[in-house]
Structure 1
Amino acid sequence: MADGLNQQVETQQDFRSRRMLLRRLTDVVALPDSASSSQDRAIAGDLLLEMLIDADENERAVCAKRLVGMSQAPRRVLRYLGQDVASVSSQLLEESAAFDQSDLVSIVVSGAAHHRRAIAARKDVGSCLSDAISQSRDTEAIARLLMNDKAIVSELSIDRLVSLSRNIERLGPLLLRRPELRPAHALVLFWWSDQATRRLILQRFSAERSVLIDMCSDIFAHAAKDNWSDPVVRKGLQVIERRQRNRAAIEKSPFSSLEDAIAHMLKSGYQAKTIDEISYLCGIKPMTGQKIISDEGGEGIAVLAKAVGLKRQYFKAFWAALGRPISRKDAPVEHFEYVLEIYEMMAVAKAQTVLRYWNWSLSSAYSPEVLDDNNNEVEADTEKYGPASRASRLVFGR
């Protein structure tokens, strides 16, 4: 009995001495440069790491908290504690300035969800780190990254996150917060966004192309002399030019004008060949026209109508000819009122920019053969695919 009691007392003394040594070693590594040599701190750090391996969670948490504000903390110790449970690692990962980006990328790749979320909230998230977080596909960590105004999100990450947002609805509004988001991203994101996000995209990412038109105006004459034989030049200038309606298509059309085609469809009913003809008259490819018209939201129809200069009564006629309700029992349909607001909100030049980008991106370099049937998520590959091709793969990639 006495022997057992003596052994228990000795064990408690051993634990007490262990805790004391752990605290003292922590004190040494936490000393400023002026109070100790780097060699002393390095030796103390090696000993501390050995002790932390056998320390309990509370002791590790105390050590981690002590090291949070220390810019010269031993890196081996930081990496060990940074991969610990949330109660130990979270504050250290989020606030410690002693980690370098390489350590943090390694923890994002090999760590758990709570590690990624803590790192995503840091003030010094660089482009390589944001890329690692976006590759993790951890929705919560990505959301924290996008809400972190101090973070630098790489273009590669934005490409990837636009693709992910197709299946993760909450990412769309968060992406719109980012200054790194470009029109090429936003006008693709549009197709699977909610109503509020679509409206914001059309307000923020449409442009009048005035600089492009002024700088490239002389090229149109040269292209015409070449009979528009260069397909790359032709596609580029189709985005830039002022005129939206296709005069050559009107000359070949069975209809005298776009308005005549709409009146015919209103009287005869919806027909795919009429939609194709209307697309040609509007200066867009039938593929683009079908995408706009088949979209449930209808905002794209408002953009199309404004871009080609349809008056309000013809926009209403077009909407009705597509089988979409305008009124019910003498009261306007709420959704049509919303789409009419989009029509009224858009300036003609800005609506043309949006429409032409869609036409360029949705029809450029699109071929069913280039789609990856084994993966609905289209990963960004800036070397293999340009913006237009990536956009078409994203929109039609399912």
Structure 2
Amino acid sequence: MVAMPAQSRKMRGEDPLPALDPILEDDTVDSSVATRRQLVKRLADVICIPSSQLTPQERHMAGDVLVELLRDADIELREGVAKRIVMLNEAPRTILVILAKDDIRVAKHILENSLSLTDSDLIQISKTVSSEHRKVIAHRRKLSDSVVDSLVQFLEDDVVTVLLKNMGASFSETALQRILTISRNETHFIPLLNRREELRPSHGLTMFWWADGPTRKKILARFGVSRSVLQESCADLFPRAAADGWQDAGVRKALQFVERRQRNRAAIARNEHGGLEQVIEAAAENGLDPHLTEEISYMSGVKPATGAQILTDEGGEGIAVLCKSTGLKREMVEKLWAALRRPAMDEAGEVHPSLRRVIEAYDSISTDKAQTVLRYWNWSLTSSLNKDVLRYIRDGVIPREEEHGAAAITAALVFGHRR
């Protein structure tokens, strides 16, 4: 069966076939080439016939023959066919896949626009084509998480950038974790990651540590939330856990995250300086040493590893979170800054931009939300620090979440980061 001429189709009141690319109509070439082109044209015509007039079997047979002809055809002819069949819902997938793996000039029409390609097709194609092909796939209006996984595994900068900007792409935990890991050095991914709806607190509050100032502000605004529902839900469990002597380490760590009170009264009671403010004043006068860092950490209700991460962070916004969550006044932010021996004034006699940014972070977050962030940091950075995770950190390896949990990944990413 061959396609009916367009004129006879119009006489029968039927829609004309899509117009062919002019290259397929050019008969001013060598006779054998012209014959091939005409045959390709006729086969393409057959493939384009509506399903009401053509059986699927005949369409696929025509497609099989067309595939063989296209293997040795010139690029203009292949591109012409790609343009012709790209919008057909019933185009044989075999020919679509072959054209999708072709030269990018041909493949781009299929890869970006064809609705007939399945997720399986796109995954299989992405593994055998160039970065330029994968970038075109990344532009598709809709991409499932399985296709995104396949594209992200190559960690190609331009492809990942397009995917993160594509709001029609769906990201799995695996893909986000891959990008989060490389964002430690490829920091231009951080603002793009922070715009993704799929981003979890574990992602955002982890990449905080290598984000710039403006992005840190957005991360704190997004993930600094109230824990009121958690607190109300678990309120009756605190006295029960206390009656048990806090024997279950997992319960103890989880309830420490939920607890309303931030300062550690026991640590304050045994401190030689008297209180948290007094320790910070001593540090401002004499400088912050490891002993004072530990004391500030314990009194603030966090582990020394968490306190050290906050107090040695170059950006300083973590100091704002620490001070706000523990009820310290703004002047204590400045005293901690002085304890770190960081400049408070610039050459013009104005507040140093870095200190100003930290004070703005302090002013912009509520005590309750700051406590959420601080407690999440403490839980995620220290709750999974067993010997296996410490070995991963030492070796620069990221543990698997299904084996060690999200907190272990956070600890490995943060403590294993080398600027």
TM category (shorter chain) comes to over 0.9
| Deviation readout 1:169-196 (Å, 9 max, x if unpaired) | 1211111111111111100011111111
Aligned CA distance change for structure 1 residues 71 and 188 (closer, same or farther; 3 Å)? same
Q: Aligned partners of 1:184, 1:366: CA distance in 2, in Å?
A: 16
Structure 1 residues not aligned, in runs of 5+: 1-8
Matches within 5 A, 1:1-398: 12-328=30-346, 330-367=349-386, 369-370=388-389, 371-372=391-392, 376=396, 378=398, 381-398=400-417
Contact kept in structure 2, 1:163 and 1:377, CA below 8 Å: no
Q: How many matched pairs?
A: 388
Q: Aligned partners of 1:273, 1:254: CA distance in 2, in Å?
A: 12
Name 2:13's counterpart in structure 1: none
Shift of the alpha carbon at 1:374? 9.4
- Return 114-123 or 281-290, whichever deviates more: 114-123
Shift of the alpha carbon at 1:373? 7.2
Aligned CA distance change for structure 1 residues 156 and 274 (closer, same or farther; 3 Å)? same
Residue 318 of structure 2 aligns to a residue in which SS? helix
Q: Aligned partners of 1:316, 1:374: CA distance in 2, in Å?
A: 34
Q: Aligned partners of 2:65, 2:397: CA distance in 1, in Å?
A: 47
Q: Aligned partners of 2:36, 2:235: CA distance in 1, in Å?
A: 79
Contact kept in structure 1, 2:401 and 2:408, CA below 8 Å: no
Q: Aligned partners of 1:374, 1:171: CA distance in 2, in Å?
A: 25
- Give 4+ residue runs of structure 1 displaced > 6 Å after superposition: none
TM-score (norm 2): 0.89
Shift of the alpha carbon at 1:89? 0.6
Contact kept in structure 2, 1:164 and 1:377, CA below 8 Å: no
The one-letter amino acid of 1:159's match is: Q
| Deviation readout 1:257-312 (Å, 9 max, x if unpaired) | 00010111122222111111110000001101111111100011111111111101
| Deviation readout 1:356-397 (Å, 9 max, x if unpaired) | 111111112124653447974637x33112111111011122
Shift of the alpha carbon at 1:53? 0.4
Shift of the alpha carbon at 1:26? 1.2
Contact kept in structure 1, 2:149 and 2:175, CA below 8 Å: yes
Contact kept in structure 2, 1:67 and 1:73, CA below 8 Å: yes
Contact kept in structure 2, 1:90 and 1:114, CA below 8 Å: no
| Deviation readout 1:331-361 (Å, 9 max, x if unpaired) | 2112211111000001000000001111111
The one-letter amino acid of 2:369's match is: K
Contact kept in structure 2, 1:123 and 1:151, CA below 8 Å: yes
| Deviation readout 1:98-139 (Å, 9 max, x if unpaired) | 100001001112211111111111122111111111212112
The one-letter amino acid of 1:271's match is: D
| Deviation readout 1:301-336 (Å, 9 max, x if unpaired) | 111111111101122112111111212464211221
Shift of the alpha carbon at 1:81? 0.6
Q: Aligned partners of 2:340, 2:196: CA distance in 1, in Å?
A: 36
Q: Aligned partners of 2:169, 2:366: CA distance in 1, in Å?
A: 34
Residue 336 of structure 1 aligns to a residue in which SS? helix
Residue 343 of structure 2 aligns to a residue in which SS? coil
Residue 356 of structure 2 aligns to a residue in which SS? helix
The one-letter amino acid of 1:77's match is: I
TM-score (norm 1): 0.94
Residue 253 of structure 1 aligns to a residue in which SS? coil
Contact kept in structure 1, 2:394 and 2:416, CA below 8 Å: no
| Deviation readout 1:229-257 (Å, 9 max, x if unpaired) | 11101100111000000011112211210
Q: Aligned partners of 2:138, 2:375: CA distance in 1, in Å?
A: 37
The one-letter amino acid of 2:201's match is: P
- Return 248-257 or 98-107, whichever deviates more: 248-257
Structure 2 residues not aligned, in runs of 5+: 1-26
